[in-house]
Amino acid sequence: WYQRRVRKAVVSTQSTGAPTGYSFRKAQVAEMLKEYDIVSRFDIKEGGQRAQFYLRPELEPAYYTIRAPLVKEFSVSNLAPGQVSILDYYDPEVRQVEFYYLDMYM
């Protein structure tokens, strides 16, 4: 599982890279996101290596949690962290980048 708390900016998108050896699957992410009313839509890109979440623009600034399932495709030694970028949709230069380790959520 990938899970991240998001500090919402004006209109935010969250771009999440899957760690090497893992991928996002559209059907599984869609099913999980039914539980959240903060995501207006999402895209799975780069063969499942990146998920882009679009937060509803009417949301007030706050901290939100987004969880999305990852599928293990193959084993990797010395697993590197995944990258999360949170940015303003209308001003992409306004962004915050963080890294996460899967063992934080397992």
Tens-level pLDDT at each residue, the chain (106 residues):
445 554 444 445 677 888 888 898 999 989 988 887 888 888 888 888 888 888 877 777 677 777 788 888 999 888 888 888 877 777 778 788 888 877 655 5
> Cα dist. 53→5, 76, 77 in Å?
13, 26, 28
Q: Measured between alpha carbons, how far is 105 from 98 in angstroms, rounded to an integer?
A: 15
Of the candidates 61, 36, 37, 50, the one whose C-alpha atom is nearest the C-alpha of residue 85 is 50
